[in-house]
Chains A and B, each alone.
Chain A
Amino acid sequence: MVIEVHDLVKKFNGTTAVDRLSFTAQRGEILGLLGPNGAGKTTAIQMLLGIIEPTAGSIRVFGQDIATHRQAILQRLNFSSAYVSLPQNLRVMDNLRVFAGIYGVANWREKAMELLRLFEIDGLATRKTGQLSSGESTRLHLCKALLNDPELLLLDEPTASLDPDIADKVRKLLRRIQRERGITVLYTSHNMREIEEICDRVIFLHHGRKMAEGPPREVIARFNQQTLEQVFIRIVRDGELQSAEPKSNP
């Protein structure tokens, strides 16, 4: 197992953001973490990254406890989010150079150029990051996220700022890279069609609790709906569905 989360709880001033969440992710799997705003997705990811301290429960990544082996774990994973940026005043290559240094990437220049080519932004290598469009910026961030050949990639709404064409290209590219390299991906998005397309398995969260889990088609069938979006709406509008929902597959 790459990720093993057991009975994870996070409370902020008495409010429960994540409530006894347990899940696993296997090597080479794309796992979607879904739910409305405030469902606890981002909090769960940030606990996996060790920047939020859990109130209770345990997180093991690559078989190691994040509480005691955070640095070793972070060396083997990477993260990209629509809500963080790379320094706008630095050139594209300089940003990649800095993170290559942090992750200890050998032959950083070749590696960076290879990734820029892969995401079709190699022509922007000497451009200042602040001059990139949001689509180019997102792709640069994904280059940064792949610099250290991560075994686990945490992607928080990575296509949120992209137009449909670029978003489609990025999804296909991510899927291809993930298959070629056997990377495990934890993916959050509000775009349910995207999730259906890219994820092997999904977990629905609502008020911090796991409401459903399984391959997208199975979850859709279990809720007697046509699409994942309909499942999403049903779960959000009736948070108590959990009791009616059959036990999820292990």
Chain B
Amino acid sequence: MSFRRINALLLRYLLLYRQSWTRIMEIFFWPVMDLLVWGFLTAYLLKIGSNNVPALITFLIGSMIFWDLLYRAQQSVTISFLEDVWARNLLNIFVAPVTVSEFLTATFALGVIKVLVNGLVLALLAWLLYAFNIFQLGFTLIPFVLSLMLMGWAMGMVTVALIMRWGHAAEALAWGIPFLVQPLSAVFYPVSVLPVWLQPIAWALPSTYVFEGMRQVLATGIVPWHMFWWSLGLNAVYLIAAAVFFRYMFGVVREKGLLAKLGME
């Protein structure tokens, strides 16, 4: 892998933001809107519930922020790829001496930047508007966020592989796939709420351990490290599986001439 080429690809994505206010707004608009909705809902529940609703309900804001970080990590991979498809620039990239791993690494790096920027803005807004301090999770925040990013990258690779294979018809997956796992990830409620037969599926997702872990930290102040290690282990499995799937699909796409078709349509 060449750092120079990864840097050039990353620059290409960052320059897009420098020259487009709409793109910059897009990064913040939806998360901020989500934060407002969940924040005000939390404030309302606290108000009407008085003693019946625990103060822990503020975890909804933390869940929303964490969910957005996972979503941004996935989007950084898929939307970067789609930007090249939409610009009909895909062939320029893939007929240059760029390897698939360099291309993916550049999108991962973009994901890190987006997650950092988004996370800080949302954390600041949550603190200012709702006095919710996500940093009460302390340094445990970092591994949990890292775990969400890894899962986002794995989902991003699978999504891009599917778009390469099935073309423009599959573009909607870029936004849809994260929401397939959201109900099972126990983002806004504990796994115990799910039907018993769904719970093993939920525990097979790395994100579930992060959200359950976050709630435990907020409730008890104790970090359930075993949850983190489980999420990390599962992420390793998912990342390897996603990379294998991506490589296989890339081979199919080259065999069928679909990359060229996608890049020229």
Interface residues in chain A, defined as those with a beta carbon under 8 Å from any beta carbon in chain B: 10, 12, 42-43, 46, 49-53, 71-72, 74-75, 78-79, 81, 83-91, 94, 97-104, 128, 144
Contacts and interface: CB of A to CB of B under 8 A. Distances in A.
A90 B96 contact: no
Contact of B19 (A49, A72, A89): A89
Contacts of B88: 83-85
Contact of B20 (A12, A46, A89): A89
Contacts of B84: 87
28 contacts: A12-B257, A42-B260, A43-B257, A49-B95, A51-B257, A51-B260, A52-B257, A75-B97, A78-B95, A83-B88, A84-B88, A86-B89, A87-B84, A88-B87, A89-B20, A89-B87, A90-B15, A90-B16, A94-B15, A98-B8, A100-B8, A101-B7, A102-B8, A102-B9, A102-B96, A103-B96, A104-B5, A128-B19
Q: Which of B4, B90, B254 has the most CB of A within 10 A?
A: B254
Given A51-B259, A84-B264, A100-B8, 13 more contacts: A46-B257, A52-B255, A53-B251, A74-B96, A79-B92, A81-B264, A83-B88, A83-B264, A98-B9, A101-B5, A102-B8, A102-B9, A144-B92
A74 B95 contact: yes
Interface of B: 4-5, 7-9, 11-12, 15-16, 19-20, 83-84, 87-99, 251, 254-257, 259-260, 263-264
Contacts of A104: 4-5
Select the residue from A46, A72, A74, A144 with max chain B CB neighbours within 10 A. A46
Nearest to A80: B92
Which 7 interchain pairs have the tightest Cβ spacing?
A101-B8, A74-B97, A85-B88, A87-B87, A98-B12, A83-B264, A75-B97
A99 B96 contact: yes
A156 to B, nearest CB: 9
A98 B95 CA distance: 14
Given A52-B254, A128-B19, A84 B263 contact: yes
A12 B15 CA distance: 38
**Which secondary structure dominates where chain B touches chain A?**
helix
Residue in B20, B94, B260 with the greatest tally of chain A CB atoms within 10 Å? B260
Contacts of B16: 87, 89-90
A197 B264 CA distance: 27
Given A97-B11, A102-B97, A86 B256 contact: no
A143 to B, nearest CB: 12
A100 B7 CA distance: 11
A26 to B, nearest CB: 22
Given A83-B264, A97-B11, A51 B92 contact: no
Given A89-B16, A98-B12, A101-B11, A51 B5 contact: no
Nearest to A129: B87
A181 to B, nearest CB: 19
Nearest to A82: B264
Contacts of A12: 256-257
A88 B263 CA distance: 15
B181 to A, nearest CB: 31
A88 B94 CA distance: 18
Contact of B254 (A53, A74, A144): A53
